[in-house]
Chains A and B, each alone.
Chain A
């Protein structure tokens, strides 16, 4: 019986572009020698766009220049560079090129804003170790500390995790995730931009470093047109929604979750699409499950990252609604510029989040003529990183009881500036007890965060408040309300405006 020869079929998409022959000539070189006018096919590598568990298949792209410049990176482990070609996922060569590609992509993005060198302690290329041993983590270190086994540059690791649902052992490499690699590279970028933060012993300084890492991951991912198209499809153009871009480091998060179910978000290491608002970190517990805010730096970083993603989504819609992938690219580039300018200008005080938020708005005014002002303010105010009265320099809220406290309900008046509408008095119906407690009857105590104020504030922030046409010119709402979402309207009353409810909403979507 004749022996049958089996031949493994390689899918065309996985075939290497060049096949080196024994005489050393490539097929492309042969064609050129024959005088073919066709350009040789470009050498391609295969990489993850965001994360091994990001849900998207690998992309085929041209290999990056190594070590590249500016912001050179040098992979020192492994020492050998595998020939650039398509490698199957799961191989060391695939991991090498997926890391090399995102290192360059992130470095190119940040260097485009004038950051062209690392911290002075790293004068040349940033050393990178793709597999420095066993750990479910990744690190950036400015300096080497041999006694501590800390190495200068970026270090990534591997570990075997037991899948709690199947019992199978799964090997995870943190350096295989573009999200993780661009997060760590972000630390190195910020260490050049704001070196004071490295040693500042405050929650916000440390948390901002983590947030910047995550923002670096998101902005680096958005440099790929395929990712921009994907996020537009997943979010219908509303980038603040949950997506493969907002979910950061899904695989590392999954691995950690197998061991510590509450240590990370339910769908990733951290999800930038969150609803955390700023509170004084001193009022938070030192650590908490990922569902809650704590003052652990990675945990607390989600406040700024959430505001960032919301602002970025607003910036995209400022450019076009519905947006195209080029609008996303433009907004990402502009956001990077605003971040760099804002961080550089921000004083390194205890409330660093708020300092950066303020400076980003100032940078937008200086660079983009306040084009993104509404998007930035809306996001930062919603997350309590800016007070609403920041819109008006003369902000002050006072409430006066407009009627006797004997009635169940009464009308209180607020200075509109306290909710972002300077120059007008706002009347609203409120329980008499509140008027007594916060109005003139109680000695004219300001109601900056009284219940009525807080209620109107959230209407403004959530785009639920509109003004009747007769008030045009008299009332300047800080944000345009979304027509379908409006629940309240401002109606002229005396020389001011009164709050009227128009309807109710389910409140489950934004």
Chain B
């Protein structure tokens, strides 16, 4: 019998807001960026900006940096 999957509960409002602020900060400081034409991330970028199924831009961490 197929296992029933529970719907994922919506994250609390404060977590959604914290994530929004975080993404804004990453984009503002250049730490989130789209891939360059050659596929690489710009120096200093720790997150990739990707478009989700819903058309919203999301960030995916790829690495940590010292600066």
Contact digits for A166-189, partner B, Cβ 8 Å, 1 yes 0 no: 000000001000001001100100
Bound complex: CA of A213 vs CA of B35, how far in Å?
26
What would 18 A/B residue contacts be, using CB atoms closer than 8 Å? A135-B44, A137-B44, A137-B66, A139-B65, A140-B63, A141-B64, A147-B40, A149-B41, A201-B59, A202-B18, A263-B67, A264-B67, A269-B66, A286-B28, A287-B25, A296-B31, A297-B31, A350-B15
Q: CB within 8 Å of B: which of A97-140?
A: 135-140
Task: Give chain B's interface residue range (CB within 8 Å of chain A).
Answer: 20 to 34
Contact digits for B26-67, partner A, Cβ 8 Å, 1 yes 0 no: 001101000100011101101010000000000111111111
Q: Within 8 Å CB of A210, what residues of B?
A: 64
B35 touches A147 (CB 8 A): yes
A148 at the interface (CB under 8 A from B): yes
CB distance from B4 to the nearest CB of A (A): 25
A378 at the interface (CB under 8 A from B): no
A137 touches B23 (CB 8 A): no
Could you list 18 further interchain pairs (A-B, Cβ under 8 angstroms) beyond the known A145-B62, A180-B66, A203-B21?
Answer: A137-B65, A137-B67, A138-B67, A140-B63, A140-B64, A141-B62, A148-B35, A148-B41, A150-B62, A201-B22, A201-B23, A203-B25, A249-B66, A252-B66, A286-B21, A286-B24, A287-B28, A298-B67
B43 touches A137 (CB 8 A): yes
A479 at the interface (CB under 8 A from B): no
Chain A residue with the shortest CB-CB distance to B66: A138
Q: Which of B25, B40, B64 contacts A139 (CB 8 A)?
A: B64
Q: CB within 8 Å of B: which of A219-270?
A: 249, 252, 256, 263-264, 269
Bound complex: CA of A209 vs CA of B48, how far in Å?
18
Interface pairs A-B: 8 shortest CB-CB? A286-B28, A141-B63, A147-B39, A286-B25, A149-B40, A138-B66, A201-B19, A187-B64
A199 at the interface (CB under 8 A from B): yes
A295 at the interface (CB under 8 A from B): yes
Bound complex: CA of A149 vs CA of B15, how far in Å?
31
CB distance from A141 to the nearest CB of B (A): 4
A138 touches B29 (CB 8 A): no
CB distance from A188 to the nearest CB of B (A): 9
Contact digits for A192-215, partner B, Cβ 8 Å, 1 yes 0 no: 000000110111001001100100
| Chain A residues at the B interface, C-beta cutoff of 8 Å | 135-142, 145, 147-150, 174, 180, 183-184, 187, 198-199, 201-203, 206, 209-210, 213, 249, 252, 256, 263-264, 269, 281-282, 286-287, 294-298, 350
CB distance from A7 to the nearest CB of B (A): 43
| Majority-rule SS of B interface residues | mixed
Bound complex: CA of A460 vs CA of B26, how far in Å?
37
On whether A295 and B25 interact (CB within 8 A), knowing A135-B43, A148-B39, the answer reads yes
CB distance from A176 to the nearest CB of B (A): 13
Q: Within 8 Å CB of A263, what residues of B?
A: 67
B64 touches A202 (CB 8 A): no
CB distance from A23 to the nearest CB of B (A): 47
Chain B residue with the shortest CB-CB distance to A256: B67
Bound complex: CA of A264 vs CA of B19, how far in Å?
25
On whether A282 and B40 interact (CB within 8 A), knowing A148-B35, A180-B66, A350-B15, the answer reads no
Chain B residue with the shortest CB-CB distance to A141: B63
CB distance from B25 to the nearest CB of A (A): 4
Q: Which of B14, B18, B29, B35 contacts A287 (CB 8 A)?
A: B29
Bound complex: CA of A296 vs CA of B39, how far in Å?
25
Chain B residue with the shortest CB-CB distance to A249: B66
Q: Within 8 Å CB of B25, what residues of A?
A: 203, 286-287, 294-297
